[in-house]
Amino acid sequence: MQRTQLFIFKQSFYTLFCFLILSACAQHVEEKTPVTFYPTPPEQPRLQFLTTLTSEKDLEIKRDGFNNFLLGPELSFSVIGRPYDVSSSPGKIYITDREINKILILDLATKNFKILEDKGLGTLRTPAGIWVSREDVKYIADMKRQQVVVFDAKNNFVRAYGNKELFEKPVDVAVHENRIFVCDMPKNQVVVLDKDSGKPLLYIGKGGSAEGELYKPTHITVDNRGNLFVTDAFNFRVQQFDPEGNFVRVFGFHGDQIGGMARPKGLDIDREGHLYSVDAASEYTQIFNENAQLLLFFGGPGIGPGNLYLPAGLHIDYDNIEFFNKFADKNFKLRYLLYVCNLSGPNKINVYGFGDWTGK
């Protein structure tokens, strides 16, 4: 009789244990993070928040031994500190980390996380904006060096452009064909250099608030036709100039309503001419068409999926979609990626995907 009771007890315990396991699994499936789209349903999605990049674990990235060699085994750069700007090349993402004043490299292909080994003549002091060509050449605006520092595809120092007579505080850089555009915040201008000689070709902008004038510019980008776009921060707008430096148009206005700008920061242009502009005050990113009309805004303050927290740099990436397709909804076909840096908060780099809804 006791053996029978013991057998029944064991069977009941086993049944209860299996039920709890299955319930936990079912609950885990139900708690799957909801997909975040912009605009929100029932409107047709054009942008999806995909994931965040904060540490080496987010993409199962391997730690590089150079980190321990550089600052000792007790320190690790497995977590991104204060990302100020971001750029990319096929298979790689580059991040300016203002917490350590270094360039972080996320190698998506090899899943390697490391630091750009700047040394000797290539030592960085206070790197800010970064531009990376498809050939993986890195151009870095260094504020304290008062130069643009260049590294080749193998991360070897190549050369530095400018000096303290030419630049006071270069905060960002962009490259188009044989021209290097350098944003100098205190001088309220963008200097255009010849890539071969390093000599100035153009000076775009001067202090003021009229069209074509700048007041504390912070970020720049160029499109595939050589047009220049400048975040005119203290005039609360973005200005466009043609390849010869002539004023074209203004995007945005001073204000906290839709289409307005309070603390504009990073910007980029997609291949269709749409301008993406980040605002650190509203903590939204706005998308304008080539006629400066607002199309969409996304982000918003907070630490939830897709939210922004003191956003700074922004970059559009057409080359690395394959590494982020696994985060996209099965009915959403990605056309390009968008990275936004968060200077504060737990989520350091927000990754969004622009694309087309293919479902019902």
**Could you count the other beta carbons within 10 Å of the beta carbon of residue 152?**
13
pLDDT in tens, 29-71: 444 568 999 998 889 999 999 999 998 777 665 545 555 545 4
pLDDT of residue 3: 45
Q: What are the φ and ψ backbone dihedral angles of 15, each rounded to 5 degrees?
A: -65, -45
- What does the H/E/C string look like for 267-284? EEECCCCCEEEEECCCCE
**Is the per-residue pLDDT at 24 higher than 80?**
no
Q: Which sign, positive or negative, has the C-alpha torsion 326, 327, 329, 331?
A: negative
**Could you count the other beta carbons within 10 Å of the beta carbon of residue 331?**
13
Distance separating alpha carbons of residues 175 and 178, to the nearest angstrom:
8
Do residues 97 and 83 lie in contact, with contact meaning Cβ atoms separated by under 8 Å? yes
Q: Please name the amino acid found at residue 72.
A: G
Q: In terms of C-beta density within 10 A (0-12 exposed, 13-18 middle, 19 or more buried), how is residue 12 classed? A: exposed
pLDDT of residue 57: 79
In eight-state DSSP terms, residue 79 is B
pLDDT of residue 32: 55
**Residue 69 three-state SS:** helix
Do residues 61 and 109 lie in contact, with contact meaning Cβ atoms separated by under 8 Å? no
Cβ density class 75-110: b for 16+ within 10 Å, e for less: eebeebbbbbbbbbbeebbbbbbbebbbbbbbbbee
Which are the contacts of 8, defined by CB distance < 8 A and separation ≥ 6?
none
In eight-state DSSP terms, residue 243 is T
> How would residue 269 be classed by pLDDT, with cut points 50, 70 and 90?
very high
79: which strand partners?
Answer: 55
Tell the residue number behind the tokens 């555009």, with chain if given: 181
Report the share of the chain in percent with pLDDT over 70.
85
pLDDT in tens, 83-94: 999 999 999 999
Flag the least confident range among 59-73, 221-235, 253-267, 287-301.
59-73
Domain boundaries, the chain: 42-357
* pTM summary value: 0.87
Q: Which of the following CATH numbers is that of domain 42-357: 2.120.10.30, 2.60.120.620, 3.40.50.150, 3.40.50.720?
A: 2.120.10.30
Alpha helices in the chain (DSSP H): 2-30, 66-71
In eight-state DSSP terms, residue 233 is G
Distance separating alpha carbons of residues 348 and 185, to the nearest angstrom:
25
